[in-house]
Amino acid sequence: MNSTTVRNLLVRGMLAGLVAGALAWVVAYLLAEPLVDDAIAFEEAHAAHEHGGEELVSRALQSTAGLGTGVLVYGVAFGGIAALAYCFALGRVGRFGPRATALLLAGSGLLAVYVVPFLKYPANPPAVGDASTLNQRTALFFLMVALSVLLAVGAVILGKRLAPSLGNWNATLAAGAFFALAVGLAYAFLPSFSNEVPEGFSASLLWQYRVATLAIQTTMWTAFGLVFGLLAERLLVPRATAAVGASGAEPQATPVAH
C-alpha cells in the first residue's frame, strides 16, 4: 500500500472518527450526563464540609460544549489511529474486503481496547472511588488496555500459525481460548477496587452509569466501523477493479496490502 493511499485512508479515518464522535456525544448527553448530575448531587449532599470558591467552568457548560469538544477531538484522534491500524490489517487478517475489514477491526478494537479492561476496571461516576487510589486505578486501567491489545495481537498470530495444521475453525477456537485464559489470569493477579463505593450510593445508579459508558463506546466503535468501511471501500475497490480490468484479468473485490 503506497503512501498516497495511506494518507487518503488516514483522512477518511479522521472524518469517520468525527462522525462517530458526534454520535457518541449524543448518546453521552442523553444517557450518561443525567446520571453524572445525580452522582454529583449525592456527592454534594454527603460532603463533609463546604468547598469555597466558585466553579471555573459551570456544570451546564461542562455537559454541553465541554463534553462535545472533548468527544469530537477524541473521535478525530481515535479515527486517525484506527485508520493506521486498518492499513496494517487490510489483507493480513484474512480474505476480507475493505468494509468487512473495517467492521472486524472495529469489533476487535471495542473488545480489546474497552470491553476487556472495562470488565476488570469499570467506569465510576463522581462520588465513587477513593481519591487516594485514583492514580493507581488509572495506571492499572491503562495497563489492562495494553495487556488486552497485546494478547489480542498474540491470539491472532497464534491462530494464523495453527491454521495450516488445525484448520481455520479449530485454530480460531484455540486462539480464543488462549486469549480468554490469559485475560483471566490478568484479572486474577491484578488488584481490584470494588470496595470503594460509598455507603448509601445507589447501586442502580452505578449500574446504569456503567451501562451508559459501555453504550457510548459501542456507539463510537460501531459508527466508525460502518462509516470508515464505506469510505474505504469507495477509495480502494474502484482502484483495484480498474487496475485489474486494464490487465484483462478477473476483477478482485479484496485489495491486498503490501
Q: Which of 93-107, 118-132, 231-245 has the lowest mean pLDDT?
A: 231-245
Q: Which of 84-93, 117-126, 179-188 has the lowest mean pLDDT?
A: 84-93
Q: Which of 16-20, 74-78, 153-157, 248-252 has the lowest mean pLDDT?
A: 248-252
Let me know: does 114 contact 222? Beta carbons within 8 Å: no
pLDDT surpassing 60 at residue 152: yes
Q: Given pLDDT bands bounded at 50, 70 and 90, which one contains residue 257?
A: very low
For cell 476496571, the residue is 121
Backbone angles phi, psi at 137, to 5 degrees: -65, -40
pTM: 0.81
**Cα(129)–Cα(79) distance, integer angstroms:** 31
Domain extents in the chain: 1-47+59-128+201-258, 130-196
What pLDDT score was predicted for residue 235?
A: 87
Handedness of CA 15, 16, 19, 20 (dihedral sign): negative
pLDDT surpassing 90 at residue 148: yes
